[in-house]
Amino acid sequence: MTVQSRGDDRRILPAPPVSPAAPDTVARAAATPDRLQPHAELGLTGEEYAAITEVLGRRPTDAELAIYSVMWSEHCSYKSSRAHLRQFADKAPPTTVLLAGIGQNAGVVDIGQGYAVTFKLESHNHPSYVEPFQGAATGVGGIVRDILAMGARPVAVMDALRFGPADAPDTRRVLPGVVGGISFYGNCLGLPNIGGELAFDPCYAGNPLVNALCLGVLRHEDLKLAAATGPGNHVVLFGSRTGPDGIGGASVLASASFGEGGTGGRSREGAKRPSVQVGDPFMEKRLVECCLELYSAGLVLGIQDLGAAGVACATTELTAGGGPEIGMRVRLDTVPLRDASLGPAEILMSESQERMMAVVAPAGLERFLAICAKWDVPATVIGEVTGTGRLEMTWHGEPVVDIPPASAATEAPVYQRPAARPAAQAALQADDPARLARPRSGPDLRAALLALLGAPDAADKSWVTEQYDRYVRGDTVLAMPQDAGLIRVDEQTSLGVALAVDGNGRYCLLDPYAGTQLALAEAYRNVAATGARPLAVTNCLNFGAPTDPAVMWQFTEAVRGLADACLALGVPVTGGNVSFYNQTGDAAIHPTPVVGVLGVHDDVRQRLSIGFGRPDCPVVLLGGSPGGGEPELGGSLWARVAHGHLGGRPPAVDLDAERALGSVLVAAAAAGLLAAAHDLSDGGLAVALAESCLAGGQGCTVTLPGDAFGHLFGESAARAVVAVAPGAGERFASLCREHGVPAAVLGRTGGPGLEVEGCFAIPLAELAGVHRSALPALFGA
Amino acid sequence: MTARVGVVTFPGSLDDTDAARAVRRAGGIAVPLWHGERDLRGVDAVILPGGFSYGDYLRCGAIARFAPVMAELVPAARAGLPVLGICNGFQILCEAHLLPGALTRNDRLRFISREVLVRVENAATPWTSDYQPGQEATLVLKSGEGAYVADAATLAGLQQRGQVLARYGGGNPNGSAGGIAGICSEDGAIAGLMPHPEHAIDPLTGPGRDGLAFFTSAVRALAAA
């Protein structure tokens, strides 16, 4: 595979379909019905091309073909996934908290006191493999503009990252680049990075996952929608100039995997080559402040960010969002360019970063432009809203686009791709980890724990997180390595929101339905462990090629699992993102849905930390069967680290137990009954106890009756470990009984290290040494 | 009289709201100042906050020093107006030649965001009078270009004249010359500090309250003046 080099003068392939000097006009298209057009190179099938011709009653112009090719790409149209994603709406739990839902740039959730928050996860996987630094940086930039377009001030970011083996040479290229890009863009933008995930697996070599989340805050009345209204209103493009960045990116990235499809010579190869955009966080910072000032001045009637598919997407979606009578007239030659040689099709497809498009009333235009000038943000009127119901564009006076906007924006084909349970699934599930040799003696259990703590997946992530500013804006109450990030929304009332993102590709490979539910349950638990009430869900669904029935089966199972679990837990999906084609040749990544849960915290001063910060607090295990039973080890970190094993079934899902556990944690935090809380997930109780000791600087001593191995390394869900505040033991115990949550006192906090009585003791310094040295040893001190 | 402390916002300033909050918590009045206006609005002191003014393009602080507000600030500072530059503000003060030396890339070439211990070396300035000499404080370091450099004669002069405001304790995080975390002018009125005291004013959102005394020092000194 060719990796595109960076450089200021780089020209992104494919070559323009037509030279700007002689644009393909509407009249010419009508007059030359038989002219061959490169629809296949732009990712459109013959059937799709025929459908466009039928919609228009003639062949499309090259500019129109550019619009349809990007708008009907997998990335923009969700054509392979839409039929399944409907379940999120069909099975949505009854809720009153959603102010805007699926289909908008991001969902908007009412958190009380007149505040709303908006949040969304989005992938930038392929660009981050090709050019890790800029790929990840522009991933942050893109999701921030999505949030900004809802009328919100972006206030925090998170990221869920997955790479190939930590010791693989290519991971040493990709990981530092991705982390550096997120650091560069997010820090310069002034958004605190409050957490995320970092995981490694051979399946992500060549297909790293870079999923970025942004959180925004707004007052209810500030909500903005992507809809053009009022014929005669101006259409203003503002922000960076348009260059040849990422032309064709939207359709190419999502419609073909790397390295395949080189059947048609140079131009086809070029069309398949991903092209990465370059980010300018300083422009984005000015754009953010500029938009917020425009909003508060009441000058924005409708707004859309420019991301994938750039001007093509913003114009079609704004127009279609306005309703069937609304149209738009755009003079493409007035778009300010960085490269004067660009023609209509390239301008439409360009993915130049840091741009927005607004609908502005004539009376407000002068003030609008003045505010843009104050922030040194170039702004240009490029067209008007009309009442024709058509999206019309001209190039130096010649009509080059004339389409019904909804046909591109919302009426893309929907595919029911064949799905089939892979033949190997049964054998995979039958490969039970119960057969694996287990450590029994104290020294062996001790060694097993240290091996997990030093494994890159469970090791301390400071090497990464110390490159991110978590402090800026002064409202970060919790950030990594806490279970969830927690942002204060109001300094007077102490209202806040907590966010966690979680996923587990190993669980999902073993059972995508249950694995996805476990990802949701973990994020739900993580939010509750801070004392916040889980409220709403976003997701980023990372999968292989949807044309592979096995992948499609994984996808349908994952979506079904998530929709069912959201209903059971009473948390609606507010939006999300699908990333297909994460595969090299025939080898797809593990199905990796990443789930984000947002919760509201009524008083952030009552937040719970994972750290054991004081001695002599009872350590209590919440959840799980009191009698123990056979440990759940399918897909566990122990099975992987100790044996390189992945098989069997993931832990059982019990959503009623998750809900009860969450209720206990939230109520206990509000009542001040707890000194610490930490959810149990990868690595089970063993890793959780070690992390709580290290985070708070206190040891603990616990007694584990019966099978110490099972207690330590089993990964049963719906569990958390807490330190009970002194004197609160009785009240906490009755709270647990009230909610039917099993609570077992394991021991107490304090002492020089982590001690499992009769088994082993590990001094804090030794735990810390193993935990903290792993990533620096791999990626540089 | 309540001290009025100006906080300058350049395009790309990020910690201006945090600095203003710290001034208010210290009992002062925070007055927003805009980079494009040659007007200090009669403030008693000025803070140049952290961030990435002008995107750190060219060199950190190199463009900000030419902002219109700096045309007022530089002569006022030379005439004794107390000025504290934090992080990017420190870089701007060096670029404006109000303080000697420069801030360069961290020795490990990565951005560093972490809590650091600093030792206040000079507690006789308007920005540090609420500290004891030698007092340690936990602040927040978050910078990619935070390593202080100057020639040997300048470093010796700073040491001799008590112009080392603070040094890192417990290890040099970024390769700063002599572990210098902050310096000041000879009279102490102009101070530059790489770690952020405004992120250490409340245990809820930072490492503690150790940074607040930078702001109470100034508010007290100015109210008494």
The residue among A269, A68, A196, A211 whose CA lies nearest residue A582 is A211
Q: What pLDDT was estimated at residue B12?
A: 95
pLDDT bracket for residue A244 (50, 70, 90)? confident
User: How far is it, in rounded angstroms, from Cα A456 to Cα A773?
Assistant: 10
Of the candidates B54, B111, B140, the beta carbon closest to that of A187 is on: B111
Of the candidates B21, B142, B204, the beta carbon closest to that of A469 is on: B142
User: How far is it, in rounded angstroms, from Cα A343 to Cα A740?
Assistant: 66
Kindly list the residues from chain A whose CB atom is less than 8 angstroms away from the CB atom of residue B199: 471, 474
Percentage of chain A surpassing pLDDT 90? Answer: 84
Torsion of CA B212, B218, B222, B225, to 10 degrees: 120
Min Cα distance A779 → chain B (Å) is 12
Q: Is the peptide bond before A546 cis (omega within 30 degrees of 0)?
A: no
Q: What pLDDT was estimated at residue A107?
A: 86
**For residue range A525-563, what is the model confidence (pLDDT) as tens digits?**
999 999 999 999 999 999 999 999 999 999 999 999 999
Of the candidates A376, A471, A781, the beta carbon closest to that of B196 is on: A471
User: How far is it, in rounded angstroms, from Cα A489 to Cα A115?
Assistant: 8
Choose from A133, A175, A284, A472 for mutation: most chain B CBs within 10 A: A472
pLDDT bracket for residue A275 (50, 70, 90)? low
Identity of residue A68: Y
Choose from B60, B86, B107, B110 for mutation: most chain A CBs within 10 A: B110
Q: What pLDDT was estimated at residue A272?
A: 38
**For residue range A94-142, what is the model confidence (pLDDT) as tens digits?**
888 888 766 666 789 999 999 999 999 999 999 999 999 999 999 999 9
DSSP-assigned beta bridge partners for residue B84: B47, B191
Asked whether A20 and A344 are in contact (CB, 8 A), the reply is yes
- SS3 state at A181: helix
**For residue range A723-759, what is the model confidence (pLDDT) as tens digits?**
999 999 999 999 999 999 999 999 999 999 999 999 9
Min Cα distance A173 → chain B (Å) is 15
Asked whether B45 and B126 are in contact (CB, 8 A), the reply is yes
Q: What pLDDT was estimated at residue A103?
A: 66
User: Could you give the residue numbers annotated as active site of B?
Assistant: 87, 196, 198
Q: Is A417 left (phi over 0), alpha (psi -120 to 50) or beta?
A: beta
Strands of A404-511 (E only): list them.
476-478, 485-488, 496-502
Of the candidates B17, B55, B113, the beta carbon closest to that of A468 is on: B113
Kindly list the residues from chain B whose CB atom is less than 8 angstroms away from the CB atom of residue A474: 17-18, 21, 198-199, 202, 205-206
User: How far is it, in rounded angstroms, from Cα A730 to Cα B74?
Assistant: 64
Q: What pLDDT was estimated at residue B69?
A: 97
Q: Indicate if the pLDDT at residue A293 is higher than 60.
A: yes
Q: Exposure string (b/e) for A746-778, b if CB count within 10 Å is 16 or more?
A: bbbbbbebbbbeebbbbebeebbebbbebbeeb
Min Cα distance B101 → chain A (Å) is 24
Q: Indicate if the pLDDT at residue A261 is higher than 70.
A: no
**For residue range B125-169, what is the model confidence (pLDDT) as tens digits?**
999 999 999 999 999 999 999 999 999 999 999 999 999 999 999
Kindly list the residues from chain A whose CB atom is less than 8 angstroms away from the CB atom of residue B140: 471
User: How far is it, in rounded angstroms, from Cα A119 to Cα A571?
Assistant: 14
User: How far is it, in rounded angstroms, from Cα A69 to Cα A147?
Assistant: 25
Q: What pLDDT was estimated at residue B170?
A: 87
Q: What pLDDT was estimated at residue A16?
A: 45
Q: What does the pLDDT average to over A222-246? A: 92
- Who's near A708: CB < 8 A, 6+ residues apart? A445, A756, A759
**For residue range A426-459, what is the model confidence (pLDDT) as tens digits?**
999 999 999 999 999 999 999 999 999 999 999 9
Asked whether B126 and B218 are in contact (CB, 8 A), the reply is yes
Q: What pLDDT was estimated at residue A23?
A: 84
Q: Indicate if the pLDDT at residue A264 is higher than 60.
A: no
User: How far is it, in rounded angstroms, from Cα B207 to Cα B202?
Assistant: 7
Of the candidates A180, A280, A467, the beta carbon closest to that of B113 is on: A467
Count of CB atoms within 10 A of residue B75's CB?
A: 10
Q: How far is CA B197 from the centre of its chain?
A: 9
User: How far is it, in rounded angstroms, from Cα A94 to Cα A297?
Assistant: 35
Chain B interface includes A781 (CB < 8 A) = yes
Choose from B16, B141, B142 for mutation: most chain A CBs within 10 A: B142
Active site residue A124: yes
Of the listed ranges A193-202, A266-275, A674-683, the least confidently predicted one is: A266-275
Asked whether B168 and B116 are in contact (CB, 8 A), the reply is yes
Min Cα distance B141 → chain A (Å) is 9
Kindly list the residues from chain B whose CB atom is less than 8 angstroms away from the CB atom of residue A605: 204
pLDDT bracket for residue A260 (50, 70, 90)? very low
User: How far is it, in rounded angstroms, from Cα A307 to Cα A296?
Assistant: 24
Q: Exposure string (b/e) for A44-55, b if CB count within 10 Å is 16 or more?
A: beeebbebbbeb
Sheet holding B180-184, edge to edge: B29-34, B4-9, B45-48, B83-86, B190-193, B180-184, B164-169, B112-120, B136-143
Query: Exposed, middle or buried: residue A549 (CB in 10 Å: 0-12, 13-18, 19+)?
Result: middle
Q: Indicate if the pLDDT at residue A37 is higher than 70.
A: yes
Q: What pLDDT was estimated at residue A308?
A: 81
| The two structure tokens encoding residue A622 | 């919440």
Q: Indicate if the pLDDT at residue B31 is higher than 90.
A: yes
- SS3 state at B4: strand
pLDDT bracket for residue A256 (50, 70, 90)? very low
Chain A's closest residue to B21, CA to CA, is: A474
Q: Indicate if the pLDDT at residue B20 is higher than 70.
A: yes
Say yes or no for a CB contact (<8 Å) between A474 and B21.
Answer: yes
H or E stretch including A382? strand A379-386
Chain B interface includes A224 (CB < 8 A) = no
The residue among B174, B116, B13 whose CA lies nearest residue A288 is B13
Q: Indicate if the pLDDT at residue A243 is higher than 70.
A: yes
Q: Indicate if the pLDDT at residue A628 is higher than 80.
A: no
Q: What does the pLDDT average to over B173-194? A: 97
Chain B interface includes A423 (CB < 8 A) = no
Chain B interface includes A613 (CB < 8 A) = no
Q: What are phi and psi of A562, to 5 degrees?
A: -65, -45
Mean pLDDT of chain A: 91
Min Cα distance A190 → chain B (Å) is 5
State the catalytic residue, choosing from A124, A234, A645, A678: A124
Chain B interface includes A470 (CB < 8 A) = yes
Q: What pLDDT was estimated at residue A624?
A: 84
Chain A's closest residue to B107, CA to CA, is: A781
Instruction: Report CA-CA distances (Å) from B65 to A375, B48, B62, B88, B92.
Output: 18, 11, 6, 11, 6
- Who's near A167: CB < 8 A, 6+ residues apart? A778
Choose from B111, B116, B198 for mutation: most chain A CBs within 10 A: B111
Say yes or no for a CB contact (<8 Å) between A474 and B17.
Answer: yes
Enter the DSSP assignment of A104.
Answer: B
State the catalytic residue, choosing from A39, A75, A84, A645: A75
Q: HEC profile for A590-635?
A: CCEEEEEEEEEECCHHHCCCCCCCCCCCEEEEECCCCCCCCCCCCC
Q: Indicate if the pLDDT at residue A14 is higher than 90.
A: no
Min Cα distance B159 → chain A (Å) is 31
Q: What pLDDT was estimated at residue A781?
A: 82
pLDDT bracket for residue A3 (50, 70, 90)? very low
Min Cα distance A158 → chain B (Å) is 16
Q: What are phi and psi of A623, to 5 degrees?
A: 90, 180
Question: Could you give the angle at which helices A169-189 and A764-779 cross, rounded to 10 degrees?
Answer: 100
Of the candidates B18, B52, B112, the beta carbon closest to that of A474 is on: B18
Kindly list the residues from chain A whose CB atom is less than 8 angstroms away from the CB atom of residue B114: 462, 466
Q: Indicate if the pLDDT at residue A266 is higher than 90.
A: no
User: How far is it, in rounded angstroms, from Cα A96 to Cα A318?
Assistant: 27
| The two structure tokens encoding residue A386 | 């009309």
Say yes or no for a CB contact (<8 Å) between B110 and A467.
Answer: yes
Percentage of chain B surpassing pLDDT 70? Answer: 100
Say yes or no for a CB contact (<8 Å) between B14 and A466.
Answer: no
The single residue listed with the structure tokens 């806490």 is A482
Asked whether A185 and A282 are in contact (CB, 8 A), the reply is no
pTM, whole model, 2 decimals? 0.93
Q: Indicate if the pLDDT at residue A153 is higher than 70.
A: yes
Chain B's closest residue to A281, CA to CA, is: B55
- SS3 state at A399: strand
Choose from B52, B105, B108 for mutation: most chain A CBs within 10 A: B52
Min Cα distance A468 → chain B (Å) is 6
Beta strand pairing call for B29-34 and B4-9: parallel
Kindly list the residues from chain A whose CB atom is less than 8 angstroms away from the CB atom of residue B108: 780-781
Chain B's closest residue to A486, CA to CA, is: B205
Q: What does the pLDDT average to over A300-307? A: 94
Q: Indicate if the pLDDT at residue A587 is higher than 80.
A: yes
User: How far is it, in rounded angstroms, from Cα A319 to Cα A405?
Assistant: 6
Chain B's closest residue to A487, CA to CA, is: B205
Q: Indicate if the pLDDT at residue A699 is higher than 60.
A: yes
Kindly list the residues from chain A whose CB atom is less than 8 angstroms away from the CB atom of residue B36: 374
Q: What angle do CA A297, A301, A307 make, to 5 degrees?
A: 105
Instruction: Report CA-CA distances (Å) from A629 to A20, A614, A705, A718.
Output: 72, 32, 12, 15
Q: What pLDDT was estimated at residue A255?
A: 35
Q: Indicate if the pLDDT at residue B30 is higher than 80.
A: yes
